[in-house]
Amino acid sequence: MAALAVVLTASLPSYGQTNDFSTWLDGVKRDARTAGISQATIDSALTGLEPIARVVELDRKQPEFTQTFWSYLDKSVTTGRIERARRLLAENRPLLDRVHARYGVQPRFLVAFWGLESNFGEHTGGYSVIQALATLAFDARRAAFFRAQLMDALKIIDEGNIAAADMRGSWAGAMGQLQFIPTTFVSYAVDFDGDGRRDIWRNLPDVFASAANFLGRVGWRGDETWGREVRLPADFDWDVASLKIRKPLAEWQRLGIRRADGADLPTADISGAIIVPMGHNGPAFLVYRNFDAILTWNRSILYAVAVGHLADRIAGLGPLSAKRPTGERPLKRVEVEEIQTLLATLGFNPGDADGIAGSQTRVALKAFQRQANLVADGYPSVKALEGLRRVAAEKAKAN
């Protein structure tokens, strides 16, 4: 669907000679021996290894359009996936209950992660993880990060969890039914069935327990949900819509926040933050501490909402009630770059003009919107871009 913003060549620009790769690989082997990896593992995993051109290509690839909230949600939480998740939860109920009892993570969330990460074990990635990680560790762009992943991948093999030839995953080294990267595997994967191997590729007890162990260790609360869709009052102060601003539910209730159907918020003594991932024309959510745990798993707000929403749908709750905006199109990456460039020109601080609307860009956009008397939701939309162009043109004329 997404065309490439930049035409890519199939060659490996920063590689030089094949010889360089094998010299580099000798260094990896030396490091592995120093780290205590056995010679047998080093031989089985690294002998005759070649870089994969396609992996570098995928690492360089940038989508032309930014992802919108609705397109992402429609793709991730489909009717088919919800039905399948319910069926798989029922089939695996005894196991999921045991994992729940041990780690305190509700089954519907474990199944939601499983569904989003690998479509319930169906799409785990067909790349050799060692080969993909060696390619990316040799490439200059993120060499240190991927070298650490490669070393941990060797450790995982050396521990006897999986044979080098069976260690398959995504082009970026995300492995098995949960798509754990090796450093995450080393810290969080669990041998729940007690066969001596941590197997997130084929063993469901290990798959669910590893996910639950990760979530438990990053602060999951088994007695809370992830959050909920809410309705905002007409006089809502957009400045308080921020993951950084947490208030007790009673305080949000006082400020006019209600459940999506208009009912009062729960009276539970917990706090949460309001987020508007699509700006003032999209849905609003009140998110609790478990939302942060989901963000530790994957930093994407859209991913985190999709996990929570899928878990809700598995439990029988309905679709979101926010209306979809008509005529709103996704921004192109170059348009987000233009927003960033214009913000910088006007004296705001949006960070690098990288075409990705991260939190720094959104905070800067909010500041601009406030100054220009626009709805200050920090959401990079076509309207926001037009507003910036207008103000920048006026300023240029004045000078």
| Helix ranges restricted to H, the chain | 18-34, 39-46, 53-60, 69-76, 79-91, 93-103, 107-118, 129-138, 143-158, 182-188, 204-217, 249-254, 289-297, 301-314, 333-345, 359-371, 382-398
Minimum distance from CB of 165 to Ca ion (Å)? 19
197 or 362, CB closer to Ca ion? 197
Site map for Ca ion, 111-150, x if CB under 5 A?
----------------------------------------
158 or 335, CB closer to Ca ion? 158
Cα angle vertex 165, ends 159, 170, to 5°? 95
199 or 335, CB closer to Ca ion? 199
Query: Contacts with Ca ion: how many residues (CB under 5 A)?
Result: 6
Site map for Ca ion, 300-329, x if CB under 5 A?
------------------------------
84 or 102, CB closer to Ca ion? 102
The answer to whether residue 193 forms part of the interface with Ca ion (CB under 5 A) is yes
User: By CB under 5 A, which span of 4-12, 202-210, 281-289, 296-304 interacts with Ca ion?
Assistant: 202-210
- Give Cβ neighbours of residue 393 (< 8 Å, ≥ 6 apart): none
The tokens describing 399, both together, are 């000078």
What is the rounded CA–CA span in Å between residue 199 and residue 247? 41
Minimum distance from CB of 184 to Ca ion (Å)? 17
Minimum distance from CB of 332 to Ca ion (Å)? 46
For residue 50, the tally of other CB atoms under 10 A from its CB is 12
**C-beta of residue 174 within 8 angstroms of C-beta of residue 183:** no
Length of the chain: 399
- Residue labelled with tokens 């010299």: 23
Of 78, 66, 114, 61, nearest to 301 by C-alpha is 66
The answer to whether residue 84 forms part of the interface with Ca ion (CB under 5 A) is no
Minimum distance from CB of 193 to Ca ion (Å)? 5
Amino acid at 243: L
125 or 205, CB closer to Ca ion? 205
Site map for Ca ion, 152-191, x if CB under 5 A?
---------------------------------------x
Phi/psi-derived region of residue 236, left when phi > 0, alpha when psi is between -120 and 50, beta in every other case: beta
3-state secondary structure of 334: helix
Q: Which residue of the chain is nearest Ca ion when measured via CB?
A: 191
**C-beta of residue 372 within 8 angstroms of C-beta of residue 387:** yes
206 or 312, CB closer to Ca ion? 206
Of 312, 344, 297, 333, nearest to 68 by C-alpha is 333
Among 97, 195, 239, 251, binds Ca ion (CB under 5 A): 195
158 or 199, CB closer to Ca ion? 199
Minimum distance from CB of 186 to Ca ion (Å)? 15
What is the rounded CA–CA span in Å between residue 253 and residue 272? 11
The answer to whether residue 206 forms part of the interface with Ca ion (CB under 5 A) is yes
The tokens describing 184, both together, are 């995450």
Q: Which residues are near Ca ion by CB under 5 A? A: 191, 193, 195, 197, 199, 206
